[in-house]
Amino acid sequence: MIAAPVKTLVSTVDLVKSYGGFRATDGVSLAIAEGSIHAIIGPNGAGKTTFFNLISGFAKPTSGRIVFAGRDIAGLAPAAIAKLGIVRSFQINSIFPHLTVLENVRVALEAKTDLPYKFLAPGSAMRALDEPARALLARVGITKNLDVQAATLPYGRKRSLELAIALALDPVLLLLDEPTAGMGNEDIERVTDLVREVAKGRTVMLVEHNLRVVADLSDRITVLQRGKVLVDGTYDEVRNDQRVIDAYLGGGHA
């Protein structure tokens, strides 16, 4: 059987971000295949967060291109980038703590829907989105206590809620900032399964320090070091690469 050709959804071309004279991103050229889960890893300070900031518009590139679905998006504002279907979750907190769990997802659905609901009476607008909001919450395993304030949820559940909010926005490209940061083993397993589930039918990029999670989830991995691509490949290719082993041993924890 001949494999289907791999289509690139997003690529960066010689992307640079300088802070003063320091290049946090130093000429990164990278292609992310449509429908893949692609991890960005590297020692502390390697430029992973900066790279995400550039793609999501939270930082403006000093030079270089970011091509998303055939269009150069480098330097667009975060809202414009979000409108194109690039949604970021986790490190940037997307939860409204004083709204209920259900309301949080409903607000995201409203933002995505962008129409007729707004013209309905407030009560019916809410009811119209209740059902899809409940369905999304069920998908991430939240089926009870939908009317409690989001702030009161335990940490692991908050992350599930963030995923439901991200799903409500129905992204083409989902950027996940350290989805398992600060979690115990049980939550790590649950969130890993969830990420796999929400990745169906879309493209996911993730920054993640837990290499077990990276190995479990990723189709492809890019290792950054000092703002540059050190190695790009499958998990097996990356983990046996002497440069990666050296970078991790010499450059801080994974």
- 91: tokens are 């490190």
Report the nearest approach of ligand ATP to the CB of residue 159 (Å). 17
**Are the CB atoms for 12 and 37 separated by under 8 Å?**
no
Amino acid at 153: L
Angle between helical axes of 155-168 and 101-113 (0-180°, round to 10): 20
Report the nearest approach of ligand ATP to the CB of residue 15 (Å). 12
Supply the Cα-derived Rg of the chain in whole angstroms.
Answer: 19
Report the nearest approach of ligand ATP to the CB of residue 45 (Å). 4
Q: Which residues, at least 6 apart from 92, have a Cβ–Cβ distance to it below 8 Å?
A: 58, 177
Residue 219 CB neighbours (<10 A): 16
List residues near ligand ATP by CB under 6 A. Answer: 19, 24, 42, 44-50
Rounded Cα distance between 83 and 93, Å, is 18
- 118: tokens are 């707004």
Q: Which is nearer to ligand ATP, 50 or 192 (CB)?
A: 50
Tokens 């690469």 -> residue: 241
Q: Which is nearer to ligand ATP, 24 or 169 (CB)?
A: 24
Q: Which is nearer to ligand ATP, 69 or 215 (CB)?
A: 215
The DSSP annotation for 111-130 comes to: HHH-SGGGGS-HHHHHHHHH
Q: Which is nearer to ligand ATP, 50 or 94 (CB)?
A: 50
Report the nearest approach of ligand ATP to the CB of residue 20 (Å). 7
Report the nearest approach of ligand ATP to the CB of residue 90 (Å). 12
Q: Which is nearer to ligand ATP, 69 or 254 (CB)?
A: 254
Tokens 């259900």 -> residue: 102
Q: Which is nearer to ligand ATP, 23 or 65 (CB)?
A: 23
Report the nearest approach of ligand ATP to the CB of residue 199 (Å). 21
